[in-house]
Copies of this chain bind each other. A is one copy, B any other.
Amino acid sequence: MHKEHPLTKNQQIIFDLIDKSPEPMKAYSILFSVQKKGIKAPLQVYRALDKLVEIGKIHKIESRNAFIACHNSSCQVSKATAFSICEICEKVTEISSTGLSKYLANFKDKDGMKYSKYNLEFFGLCKKCR
């Protein structure tokens, strides 16, 4: 369980924006959208993004350099992420599969080593784009 720190002003503004977006948002597109609210510089955006990622409110889609809000209530989620990405329309969906997360959380490599964190990105075509 986490202590639920309330978000700060910039964090809240940026989280709300990402949370409402139907698609992953990129940092400079976020910057553009929040300039009217007084967030003027890239660093202000990146700092909020870093924090939001750290506390698990958003995730970074590494292959796209973009951010989506987390809608998965699980605690572990910032350390164990999986997404499906449509290679045509770029729609991204967070995958929450107990089977998958258990499998990966317990995965051991050749040396018997377990890992504390993972990120998995699946690529293919979404229903609409098939």
Q: Which A positions have Cβ atoms within 8 angstroms of B?
A: 62-63, 84, 93, 95, 97, 100, 103-104, 107, 109-111, 113-127
Residues of B within 8 A of A111 (CB): 127
Q: How far is the CA of A117 from the CA of B116 in the complex (A)?
A: 23
Residue of B nearest to A122 (CB): B115
A110: B residues at CB distance < 8 A: 97
CB-CB under 8 A from A100, the residues of chain B are 107
Q: Which residues of B contact A118 (CB under 8 A)?
A: 120-123
**CB of A30, distance to nearest CB on chain B (Å):** 20
Q: Tell me the nearest residue of chain B to A95, going by C-beta.
A: B109
Q: With A63-B119, A120-B118 given, is the CB distance from A113 to B84 under 8 Å?
A: yes
Closest to A111 in B: B127
In this complex, what residue of B is CB-closest to A125? B116
Which residue in chain B gives the minimum CB-CB distance to A121? B119
| A97 contact set on B, CB distance < 8 A | 107, 109-110
A62-B62, A100-B107 given; A117·B122 CB < 8 A? yes
Contact of B122 with A107 in the complex, beta carbons under 8 Å: yes
Q: Could you list 11 A-B pairs, sorted by A, with CB under 8 Å?
A: A62-B62, A63-B119, A84-B115, A95-B109, A97-B110, A113-B127, A115-B122, A115-B124, A118-B123, A119-B121, A120-B120
